[in-house]
Structure 1
């Protein structure tokens, strides 16, 4: 059954997060994770722009210096008669006398791509590698190896953002660069050496007139160190991003993972409690989806416990109501064999038949009340016009009742739309009419009125002309198996479930039902009145 307590809880919807088109929890997640990403991206963009600017500046400087050296060689170390040729001795002397920065290596090649002069050789600058004793391998530097592996990994990732021209220059050899310059082109770019290091290189052709007699190659070897410095400059950004990421993860753990875990543990305790009440943790202070979930689970478990208690109470009430006629039948059956006269046997058989009919009525009403939950859940909710529904119901009573109290329907409304299910609402109206007919005199009148009350609610009023309701029973009559029999009514003719079912249906539809007494001009009770209110639906 849909219980009164459960229905009251269900009628109050949970307060959701309002006033925002985007959820508060989603904003927390986006901001927390976006801060780390923004810090890291800004740092990477800043360093990438700096690196590209340094490489371009170095290429421009080497190009200017290379063109200057090529012009000097064309004027002082080249002859054009009888044919253009580079004087190698003069080229070496000129190159030795020129100022070349220590971080730059200059080389002169003739037209045959043969090395003519080299500043490292002219200045006796040689790379020295200390060899281990015979039979021993070079010592391994784990830190250097790790840095080398990390550098190659970063370079590989950075290669995804290089242009096609930059990739071609990186894979170009010195010989290819010299050969291209001998054809008359200035070749510039960053290329990789056999040992894996990178060098900024510019090769400029030497042209006394138009013919190329040689080339000048300038190389700068400090690019890797510049890149290492830039990567070290990136570490503060990485540390900041890591710190923000850790803090955001901790925050998400505290504000999301931990409350959800608490709810999960509480739900597990509810499952293992076997009917014992277990309080769900209260998250009412949170104004996000987690708080809404916590309150929903609290309401759900409270409704579940109320439902279980009510089922137990309902089972006890059913057992009590069925026990009375069973006890009467058993007593009559035990006495029946000892009855001395036909009149006594007839009375005992009449008692048994009456109690059987009473049990049948009880079982039928109990089954109907038990199925009400499923019936309300299966039926589709739509718009019901109370004017037509009440009118059709009253017409069926006018047709069926040949004698007895009159049933009259009065309203000034043209329509009375409510959101609900027609069959259950019709059952409420029938139960109230049947109850009114039971207590009304044979020449009395049952009046059903439909009106629109303040607050945009539709009110159904059912008045009878019976003895009224005892003031102390105005609320009790809605309890299960409560019966207030009219004078002279047959015992057991009512199960006491009609008004309880009516209240159950009305509250499921978001309405309310109450009982009161009507009074005449002298203040005397003139009959009972039942008032049912439903929220009025928008007219379709």
Structure 2
């Protein structure tokens, strides 16, 4: 049979603790580590993306501001030096405008184009400068190298038409007096930073100067290359977190699963993984809980085996006596001897019946304790009702049961009234059986701070011969009985005090026996007290 001690050891904080345990990540070391590592990798990637996007935007804005300043300067020069003051309307001189663009420095990678007031191209910096536009040719391919696929001419034509449309729209907006600056596609299909400024003479728009820089793709590529370290670090952190999860979560869980399978397949009686039990996280808690659970189950199995052996031994004695009496009965001729054997058979049957009843009650005790939920029980009221039942049902010559209550702060205990009542019935019945006729059994309830965890004390005193000092502990063992002379044979099974101890310990209490100085035995039960305002947790 399982003991209450085993049950309490399996859940030392009470079975209500798991329901109350908050799902807080702050109290979870393993969960906090996993979350922190994953958030760190995402944070690194996010910060890098935000910083680089901001830098890219600022870089393009700075490039646009620089081109705008250059374009405004060139437009002012063209408006003064490249414009003719013809009558009645001024107009651009294409030759003078080309000379102005040639004589002014156009940085490498930039292109300046001038359009007249009708949107027609007047001059291009690529045409008047000595620099050859375009990019370097790729290195020559080996003779046996595969020929790269030809470019899609239709796609190239669409890109060229789209680029020209964007340029025309930009020029048209500048001719209307609205400077334009932004990103667009060039005729070569590259993204360029472009600025279009109207060329004015006084207030009249004489043309449009478009200045563009084609290093946007290089800038974006540089930003992508700058983002790579952040991405690599984020990936490494994610890999590290995954590795840690594998090492600290997956592998220990696999080991616990294999250990549980070993227990299930009866290759072991308990799980024992010392390296996991020493951890101070949820895996360690799980390992310790599984070890405690399997150890408790192992102890319970051992207790069941011992109980079965004790039951077999105790049942075998009356059965042997019955068989011997039945074998002897046909050989007896004297009526007095036959009556004696018949009385012996009846006593053995009564003993066997009482034994089987107590064994049945003891075997059901664990199930009853686990099925019945604990609740506050007024121990004073319970004892008063029990004593009242004994007083009303007492027979002549039986010991009187008297109840006395000392000063109490409270008499509430967290438990089950049925099993607790069985404890004190067993103790009172045991005390009455040892008390002399017309004797007295005193049940006293008081509060004693000698045991701070179990201040509520119940004493059951009798006026019998007391308990031999050598038997003060053994009397709580199963099937132990030492009855005074004159007690009816088979009236006691020796399980009453064992059941009482099991119930008391299941309620977090303690029970012990002693002898009073004035004579008689004293059984003391100590139980935890539920104080006013104290959270009531089942144990």
Q: Please give the alpha-carbon distance, in whole angstroms, between the structure 2 residues aligned to 1:398 and 1:45.
A: 86
Task: Check conservation: 1:7, 1:507, Cα contact below 8 A.
Answer: no
Structure-2 residue corresponding to 1:408: 402
Structure-2 residue corresponding to 1:103: 109
2:484 to 463, 483, 486: 486
Task: Check conservation: 1:481, 1:497, Cα contact below 8 A.
Answer: yes
Q: Please give the alpha-carbon distance, in whole angstroms, between the structure 2 residues aligned to 1:57 and 1:427.
A: 90
Between 1:239-248 and 1:109-118, the stretch displaced more is: 239-248
Structure-2 residue corresponding to 1:331: 324
Task: Kindly report which structure 2 residues correspond to 1:155-194, keeping only aligned pairs within 5 A, or say none.
Answer: 173-193=166-186
Residue 35 in structure 1 maps to residue 40 in structure 2: yes
Task: Check conservation: 1:447, 1:463, Cα contact below 8 A.
Answer: yes
Secondary structure, counterpart of 1:519 in structure 2: coil
Residue 127 in structure 1 maps to residue 160 in structure 2: no
Secondary structure, counterpart of 2:201 in structure 1: coil
Task: Check conservation: 1:170, 1:189, Cα contact below 8 A.
Answer: no
Q: Deviations over 1:190-228 (max 9, x none)?
A: 224466532111111122233333211111111221222
Structure-2 residue corresponding to 1:452: 447
Residue 341 of structure 1 and its aligned partner are, at CA, apart by 4.3
Change in CA separation of 1:321 and 1:170 when aligned onto 2, cut-off 3 Å? farther
Change in CA separation of 1:449 and 1:43 when aligned onto 2, cut-off 3 Å? same
Secondary structure, counterpart of 2:427 in structure 1: helix
Residue 354 in structure 1 maps to residue 347 in structure 2: yes
Residue 327 of structure 1 and its aligned partner are, at CA, apart by 1.9
Secondary structure, counterpart of 2:516 in structure 1: strand
Residue 434 of structure 1 and its aligned partner are, at CA, apart by 0.5
Q: Deviations over 1:21-56 (max 9, x none)?
A: 633333322333333333333333332222122111
Change in CA separation of 1:278 and 1:294 when aligned onto 2, cut-off 3 Å? closer
Q: Deviations over 1:55-79 (max 9, x none)?
A: 1111001011111122222223334
Change in CA separation of 1:56 and 1:280 when aligned onto 2, cut-off 3 Å? same
Change in CA separation of 1:357 and 1:232 when aligned onto 2, cut-off 3 Å? same
Task: Check conservation: 1:78, 1:84, Cα contact below 8 A.
Answer: yes
User: How many residues align structurally?
Assistant: 507
Secondary structure, counterpart of 1:484 in structure 2: coil
Change in CA separation of 1:506 and 1:282 when aligned onto 2, cut-off 3 Å? farther
2:95 to 78, 81, 89: 89
Secondary structure, counterpart of 1:173 in structure 2: helix
Residue 478 of structure 1 and its aligned partner are, at CA, apart by 0.8
Q: Please give the alpha-carbon distance, in whole angstroms, between the structure 1 residues aligned to 2:505 and 2:33.
A: 39
Q: Please give the alpha-carbon distance, in whole angstroms, between the structure 2 residues aligned to 1:337 and 1:31.
A: 88
Task: Check conservation: 1:281, 1:298, Cα contact below 8 A.
Answer: no
Q: Deviations over 1:235-272 (max 9, x none)?
A: 33333333333334333333333332322221121112
Change in CA separation of 1:12 and 1:219 when aligned onto 2, cut-off 3 Å? same
Residue 418 in structure 1 maps to residue 427 in structure 2: no
Residue 383 of structure 1 and its aligned partner are, at CA, apart by 1.1
Between 1:348-357 and 1:380-389, the stretch displaced more is: 348-357
2:234 to 241, 250, 254: 241
Structure-1 residue corresponding to 2:119: 113
Residue 465 of structure 1 and its aligned partner are, at CA, apart by 0.8
1:54 to 38, 44, 59: 59
2:438 to 443, 448, 460: 443
Q: Please give the alpha-carbon distance, in whole angstroms, between the structure 2 residues aligned to 1:206 and 1:65.
A: 13
Between 1:13-22 and 1:80-89, the stretch displaced more is: 13-22
Residue 45 in structure 1 maps to residue 40 in structure 2: no
Q: Please give the alpha-carbon distance, in whole angstroms, between the structure 2 residues aligned to 1:190 and 1:172.
A: 14
For structure 1, the residue ranges without an aligned partner over 5 or more in a row are 142-168, 521-525
Between 1:434-443 and 1:319-328, the stretch displaced more is: 319-328
Q: Please give the alpha-carbon distance, in whole angstroms, between the structure 2 residues aligned to 1:208 and 1:310.
A: 111
Task: Check conservation: 1:263, 1:281, Cα contact below 8 A.
Answer: no
Structure-2 residue corresponding to 1:139: 148
Residue 140 of structure 1 and its aligned partner are, at CA, apart by 6.9
Residue 176 of structure 1 and its aligned partner are, at CA, apart by 2.1
Change in CA separation of 1:384 and 1:196 when aligned onto 2, cut-off 3 Å? farther
For structure 2, the residue ranges without an aligned partner over 5 or more in a row are 151-161, 534-539
Structure-2 residue corresponding to 1:261: 254
Q: Please give the alpha-carbon distance, in whole angstroms, between the structure 2 residues aligned to 1:231 and 1:513.
A: 77
TM-score scaled to structure 1, two decimals?
A: 0.86
TM-score scaled to structure 2, two decimals?
A: 0.86
Structure-1 residue corresponding to 2:386: 393
Structure-1 residue corresponding to 2:299: 306
Please, what is the CA RMSD of the aligned residues?
3.1
Structure-1 residue corresponding to 2:31: 26
Task: Check conservation: 1:5, 1:306, Cα contact below 8 A.
Answer: no
Change in CA separation of 1:389 and 1:429 when aligned onto 2, cut-off 3 Å? same
Task: Check conservation: 1:282, 1:295, Cα contact below 8 A.
Answer: no
Change in CA separation of 1:304 and 1:194 when aligned onto 2, cut-off 3 Å? farther
Residue 513 of structure 1 and its aligned partner are, at CA, apart by 0.3
Q: Deviations over 1:491-539 (max 9, x none)?
A: 211111111111111111100000111223xxxxx11110000011122
Residue 138 of structure 1 and its aligned partner are, at CA, apart by 4.9
Secondary structure, counterpart of 2:395 in structure 1: coil
Between 1:90-99 and 1:282-291, the stretch displaced more is: 282-291
Structure-2 residue corresponding to 1:523: none
Secondary structure, counterpart of 2:192 in structure 1: strand
Structure-2 residue corresponding to 1:461: 459
Residue 323 of structure 1 and its aligned partner are, at CA, apart by 1.4
